[in-house]
């Protein structure tokens, strides 16, 4: 084999190895959706744990200042609630967290929460998402994950 051919083959092999090594990273980074279009997880699109933490802190602040529903939280450890909410949203949006709190049904069962109370809390969340300029698509995806929990939370 001539020297030039060996150099060319060697270069090609090196290039192939680089491409092969990059594959798992790409596959992890961008999940393939049905249409073949690359799509990051909602967790990533929200901005990961720092962004979720900022939104939840604002959200919990809004709830605490909301006279329609803050009586429910009078005896609540808000710092702990915040941690639980961050982990819940992080996990539900495809992030690497683990929610360790109780089931939505168990946690809220004796609170007598109405549909109006639930609506007020969602408003407080939307206000927080808007403050941080979370785009409409991501906002609706998150609300689409939390919305179905209503039937476990509203008991009145
Ligand atoms: C989609 C809507 C909601 C979600 C995702 C949600 C989520 C949670 C989570 C993760 C916790 C912590 C559970 C734990 O520590 O084990 C919690 C606690 C609590 N939630 Fe909700 N919740 C929702 C709606 C509501 C509403 C509408 C109210 C009342 C207006 C409410 C009142 C409370 C209270 C008072 C606690 C604290 C209980 C305590 O002090 O230990 N939640 N919620």
Question: Which stretches within 30-114 are classed as H helix?
Answer: 42-46, 48-64, 78-92, 104-108
> For residue 14, how far is its CA from the centre of ligand 1 (angstroms)?
55
Ligand 1 atom with minimal separation from the 72 CA: 35
42-153 belongs to CATH 1.10.3720.10: no
Token reading at 15: 């290039």
Token reading at 90: 């992080």
> For residue 108, how far is its CA from the centre of ligand 1 (angstroms)?
6
> What residues does ligand 1 touch, defined as CB less than 6 Å away?
69, 72-73, 75-76, 81, 84-85, 88, 101-102, 107-108, 111, 113, 117-118, 121, 146, 149, 153
CA distances from 5 to 9, 17, 57 (A): 6, 18, 62
pLDDT tens across the length of the chain (156 residues) = 566 556 554 554 454 334 444 444 444 444 445 556 778 999 999 999 999 999 999 999 999 999 999 999 999 999 999 999 999 999 999 999 999 999 999 999 999 999 999 999 999 999 999 999 999 999 999 999 999 999 999 999
> For residue 107, how far is its CA from the centre of ligand 1 (angstroms)?
7
Q: Report the predicted TM-score, pTM, of the whole model to 2 decimal places.
A: 0.82
Ligand 1 atom with minimal separation from the 117 CA: 30
Q: Which of 59, 65, 72 to mutate to test the pocket of ligand 1 (most atoms within 8 A of CB)?
A: 72
Q: Where exactly are the structural domains of the chain?
A: 3-39, 42-153
Compute how many other C-beta atoms are within 10 angstroms of the C-beta atom of residue 135.
Answer: 11
């Amino acid at each position: 084999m001539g020297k030039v051919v060996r150099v060319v083959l060697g270069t090609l092999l090196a290039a192939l190895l680089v491409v092969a090594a990059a594959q798992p990273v790409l596959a992890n980074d961008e999940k393939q959706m049905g249409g073949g279009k690359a799509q990051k997880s909602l967790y990533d699109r929200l901005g990961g744990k720092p962004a979720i933490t900022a939104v939840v802190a604002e959200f919990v602040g809004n709830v605490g200042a909301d006279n329609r529903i803050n009586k429910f939280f009078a005896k609540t450890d808000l710092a702990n609630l915040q941690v639980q909410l961050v982990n819940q949203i992080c996990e539900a949006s495809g992030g690497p967290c683990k929610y360790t709190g109780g089931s939505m049904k168990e946690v809220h069962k004796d609170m007598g929460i109405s549909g109006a109370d639930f609506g007020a809390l969602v408003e407080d969340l939307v206000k927080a998402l808007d403050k941080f300029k979370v785009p409409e698509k991501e906002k609706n995806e998150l609300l689409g994950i939390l919305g179905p929990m209503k039937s476990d939370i509203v008991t009145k």
